[in-house]
């Protein structure tokens, strides 16, 4: 979690346009790659989000981790909450689809075949 928060804060402090982390990512990466990726999902796209389903395991370690009160993100419902999807949490809540994720990674190694730019 720490790395995402640090990256978000650095961008917040140095961006001359005073954009949020989510808006910075949209403007500087997502538009160039012609993909869908959100840190801070617009509410009109909520219907497209698949629910997070935890692995079902009966191991004692999994049970302890799932019920740990020391980890607030261990609660099963937290990642299915639309309020969490809409929040800009750089460390954990990037929402995308498989095609867009593949395009983002592909753009790191070369120009995209349909005019998307290399990052």
Contact 30, 23 (CB under 8 A): no
Distances in whole angstroms, Cα of residue 97 to Cα of each of 1, 12, 25, 35, 81: 21, 26, 16, 9, 18
Q: Give the whole-angstrom CA distance, residue 50 versus residue 41.
A: 13
φ, ψ for residue 100, nearest 5 deg = -65, -40
Q: Alpha-carbon distance 98 to 36, whole Å?
A: 10
What digits encode the pLDDT tens for the residues 57-66? 666 666 666 6
pTM: 0.74
What is the full per-residue pLDDT of the chain (119 aa) written as tens digits?
678 889 889 999 999 999 999 999 999 999 988 999 999 999 999 999 998 876 666 666 666 666 655 555 556 678 899 999 999 998 888 999 999 999 898 888 877 776 666 66
């Amino acid at each position: 979690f720490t790395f995402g928060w640090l990256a978000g804060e650095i961008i917040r402090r140095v961006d001359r346009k005073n954009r949020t982390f989510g808006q910075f990512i949209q403007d500087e990466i997502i538009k160039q790659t012609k993909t869908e990726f959100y840190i801070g999902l617009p509410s009109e796209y909520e219907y497209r989000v698949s629910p997070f389903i935890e692995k079902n395991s009966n191991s004692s370690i999994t049970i302890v981790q799932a019920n740990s009160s020391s980890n607030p993100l261990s609660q099963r419902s937290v990642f299915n909450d639309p309020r969490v999807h809409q929040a800009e949490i750089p460390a954990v809540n990037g929402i995308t689809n498989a095609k867009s994720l593949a395009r983002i990674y592909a753009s790191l190694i070369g120009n995209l075949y349909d005019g998307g730019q290399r990052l």
